[in-house]
Every structure is written in C-alpha cells, then in structure tokens.
Amino acid sequence: MIRDITLGQYYPGNSWVHRLDARIKIIWTFVYIVSLFLIKDFWGYIAVLVTLALIIGVSRVPLKFILKGLKPIFLIIVFTFTINMFMTKGTPLFTLGFLTITREGLYNAVFMGIRLVFLIIGSSLLTLVTKPINLTDGIEKLLSPWQRAGLPAHELAMMMTIALRFIPTLLEETDKIMKAQMARGADFESGNIMNRAKSLIPLLVPLFISAFRIAQDLAMAMEARCYRGGSHRTRMNGMKLKKKDGVACFLMLAYLALIVLQRGVW
Amino acid sequence: MEHIIRIDDLVFEYKREEQLEPVRAVNQVSLEIERGSFTAIIGRNGSGKSTLAKNINALLLPSSGAVYVKGLNTADDTKLWEIRQAAGMVFQNPDNQLVSSIVEDDVAFGPENLGIEPGEIRRRVDDSLYSVNMYEERKKAPHLLSGGQKQRIAIAGVIAMRPECIILDEPTAMLDPHGRAEVMEIIQKLHREGITIILITHFMEEAAKADRVIIMDSGRVVLDGEPAQVFLHIEEIKSLNLDVPFAVDLACRLRKRGVEIPENLITTEEMVEYIACRFK
C-alpha cells in the first residue's frame, strides 16, 4: 500500500486547466493570492467565488477533494476567527463575562475567515491540477531570468525533482526499518508523547544513514550520466506556450482589472 | 581486433582513516578489452572488481598506471564527458540510480546532459525504451515498476547516450530470478547489436554467457580467458571461494566417474541438450 501513495496531492485528469502551462498556473496563483488582499468588502468576494467556481468546474476536480485540503488548517481558521471576533474594538453586540463581541469584530472575523479559506483553496488548486514534475519545471523556467543575478534556479529545480522521485523510496525504506526494529522488540505505538518521540530514534538514525547512502549512489549515477549542472543542458520537453495559455493569461488580466477596479470604485 | 579499452598497470589505492597504510583495491592490473566483446568480471566482495569498473569511466582515477577509453586517457580532464558518454555505466541498486519520477524523463536525463537538441532526444528515448521493451511503461513512475523493469530503465538511460561500451556493476544482484533473466536477455541483445559489454557479477551462470571471463582476487587478475578455458581451473576457482557454473561442476563430477564430457559445455542449456542427446 505504501507504493500507491500519490505524490503531493495531484488529482489526475486531462481537463483544460490540467493541460495549461505550469508557468501560467503559477503566475495565476500569485495574482489570485495578491487579489485576495486587495479586496475590501464582501462584494469583492463574490467575484473571487465565481472565478474559483468556474476554475473548479472546468478542472473537474471533485469539491470534496478540494475541501479535504482545508482540514489541516481548520484550527488556524478557528483561531483567527475567534481572535478577530473578541479582540476588535467597536460597538458591543453582547457580552460574555469578560469577553465582548463587537459588531466590527464579527464582521472582521467572517471577512478574515473567508479570506483564509479562499487562500487555501486557491493555492491547493494549483497542486491539484499540476503534476509535481511540471511544477518544478515551471518554477525553474520562471526563476531562470534571475540566474544571472546568482540564483541557482536549475539546482533548486533539480533538488525538487530528486526529492519528488525519492519520497516513495524513502517511505519504503522507513517501512523496512520500522518492521526490522519491531521484529527486534521496538515499540512505536504505546506510551506518552515523550516516550513515543524517544522510540523514534532507532528509526530515524538508520533512516538518515540510508538517505546519505542513497544520495551518494545517486550522485555517482548522475555523474556517470554526464551530469554537470545546468549549463550545457537541453530539455526533451521544452515548454511552449500554446493558444489556451494566452487565453488563460487574458482571463487573468481581466480578473486582475476587475479586482483593482472594485478597490477604486466602491 | 581494435581495443576500445586499455588498462596499463592500474593501481588504485585509498586511505582509511584508522589505518595509515593505504589499501590497494586494484593492484597492477593490465587488460585490453576488444571492441564488440562481452567480458564478465567475477570476484568475491572486495576483490576490486567494482573499483576497476569505476576506473574505466573516470568515476575514480588511477593512483598509478593509466586507463584509456577509445585512446583517451581517463586522467585527462578535458575528455571526461567524452569518456563517460562512450563508456556508460549501470549500477547495482535499481532504485538509487533513477533521477526522475517519470520513466521517459529519466531516460532523457543523459542526452539532456550532453546538450542534444530536443527532437533528437525524443527519438533516442523512444528507441532506447523500445530496445529494452519498456516503451509501454514510458509514462509511469519508477517506484511502481519491478526491480527488473527499473534496471531495464537504467540500461535504457545509458543506451540513450549512444555509448560504445556499457559497464554493468552487478546489475542483477538485487533482483529476483525473473528480473535477472529479463536483464540478462537485454544485455545479450545489446551485445549482438555490437555494443561492448563489461559485466561485473557474482553469478557464474551469467558469466558463462560471456565470451571472455576474468576472475579477480585481492585486486589482481587471477584467471583470464574464454569461459570454457577458465572454468577448467575448477579447483583454483573453488579455492577462491567462488562457484563454477552448475554445468561445469556436473561435467567435472561425471568425468571423475569416467563419463566422457566435452570441455566446451558451460551453460545449463547446453548441458541439458548434450545429455538429452547422448542418453536418449
């Protein structure tokens, strides 16, 4: 079962959004994130909601799948919501002991809560509809203009590619070590937090050693295949912008214009 | 015959920290490998066979002596990439030598490093995948493939660089019998297509399929010749704690009992055929 894990949280598909150039999708996501902070009232959120609904509809990623991404940060949302509700000064609505809920507080809490939810949904949508490997290629391409300024764009992308490649290998390795230690009486499941953390040491030490061994093997194999960094290198799948990427770009600009306008007009 | 690899008096030493005396992994080895040949190198763990292999494509450089690939000295920095392109290498662990999480991207890794233009890379990747019978799997992630399949991908990654010689360092050591057979089949096919093969192994049955066998012990070449000739030294091989192919062992025992068996029978298949014919 450990072999079947999906890398990242990519949702396989072949929709229009899936097939877009990764660079466009990354830029779109950035514009989207910035736009969330430009919005100043609930009317703005309607524009965001419609855009988001359209993208999700076209991508055919089930809504359940997307909302699952909210689970890990649910606590943060509740926390922000509560802090905003109680800590904002203004017209009191009602009082609970020493806590006062104000009208502005309630407004802020809901406003911030929605912003956070939109933020997470939008950015997780990027990884849902883009293969991790295309994402690293896109990042490499987007960062390459800064290469002259000394940013190691190729090296960063290569590191991400290798990390993606070796996640399953290291998971398998972890599984193996865990079983070996359990066979010799190690106990990973009982005891309090401190004891459990301690019991991880016989797992982590061999895992680190094995990760270094793998790294050494891989470095040698890469050298044997003439790897010498990013210069000289060509790519089999050069990224070419197609017509639909232009359309996506146009839609992005239209969206951005709308958000900027709402800020100016209302 | 033209020599693709020439090794002159190669010595490779390395220093272990706790010992002041350097360890000699390879001790004064001289060899020539003919173009298009299939050589198997056998030896125990620590006999220096892997070190010898890594000296051939300049992953390690000689402490003294010299190694020439296509007449290029491996110590010459400026020819490094030409040497590594000409003498590709496949390693033991199928997991630890694949770079990308998509099969075809991994095969493209070598040619991409050589700076070949994209259209040509595409052609080479497809050709290489066809020649190891893995074209159908080109979009898959390596971790979903079997060990034998992964090793075939590693071989495809090397062929895509269009090498003249492939050095395989115990490519079947971590595979099950099925995977081992798959990989051996590919190796023999590449040899028939004219690529020089150097196979490092400790499976005698694999060595029996080569046309030259070199046996190493403590960094030296002990025996060197055609398999049938080398495996005649059965006592010497056993004294090195190595096995001989099953067929050779059987022939030797039969001979002791007075049964006439020709000397050139070294693979199990040949032996089965011979016995079936003779004792029908």
Q: Which pLDDT tens digit goes with each residue over B4-61?
A: 999 999 999 888 777 678 888 998 999 999 999 999 999 988 888 999 999 998 999 9
Q: Identify the DSSP state of A60.
A: T
What gap in Å lies between CA B159 and CA A95, rounded to an integer?
A: 76
Predicted local distance difference test score (pLDDT) of residue A2: 47
Out of A3, A217, A235, the one facing B118 most closely (by C-beta) is A235
DSSP summary character for residue B194: T
Q: Which CATH superfamily is domain B3-227 in?
A: P-loop containing nucleotide triphosphate hydrolases (3.40.50.300)
pLDDT at B19: 67
Of the listed ranges A64-78, A239-253, B98-112, B157-171, the least confidently predicted one is: A64-78
Q: Which residues of A touch B155 (CB under 8 A)?
A: none
pLDDT tens for each residue of B110-169: 999 999 999 999 999 999 999 999 999 988 888 889 999 999 999 999 999 999 999 999
For the segment B156-204, what is each residue's pLDDT rounded down to a tens digit?
Answer: 999 999 999 999 999 999 999 999 999 999 999 999 999 999 999 988 8
Interface mutation target, options B50, B91, B95, B198, chain A, most CBs of A under 10 Å:
B95
B-side interface with A, Cβ within 8 Å?
54, 57, 59, 81, 84-85, 88-89, 91, 93, 95-102, 104-105, 108-118, 121-122, 125, 141-144, 154, 157-158, 161
Q: What is residue A4's DSSP assignment?
A: G
Are B200 and B26 a contacting pair, CB within 8 Å? no
C-alpha span between B234 and B218 (Å, rounded): 19
Mean pLDDT, chain A, as a whole number? 85
What residues of B are in contact with residue A164 (Cβ under 8 Å)?
101
Region class of A165: left (phi > 0), else alpha (psi between -120 and 50), else beta:
alpha
Domain ranges, ordered by start, for chain B: 3-227
What A144-147 contacts at long range (C-beta under 8 Å, 24+ apart), as own/partner pairs, is A147/A230
How much is the pTM? Answer: 0.83
* Closest C-alpha to A160, from B64, B75, B101, B260: B101
Tokens of B113: 């490093």
The confidence score (pLDDT) of residue A132 equals 82
* A223 lies within 8 A of chain B by CB: yes
Which amino acid appears at position B268 of this protein? Answer: T
Q: Is A235 exposed, middle or buried (0-12, 13-18, 19+ CB in 10 A)?
A: middle
- Please choose, from the candidates B143, B134, B151, B96, the residue with its C-alpha nearest in 3D space to the C-alpha of residue A4: B143
| Chain A hits for B118, Cβ within 8 Å | 234-238
Q: What percent of chain A has pLDDT over 70?
A: 96
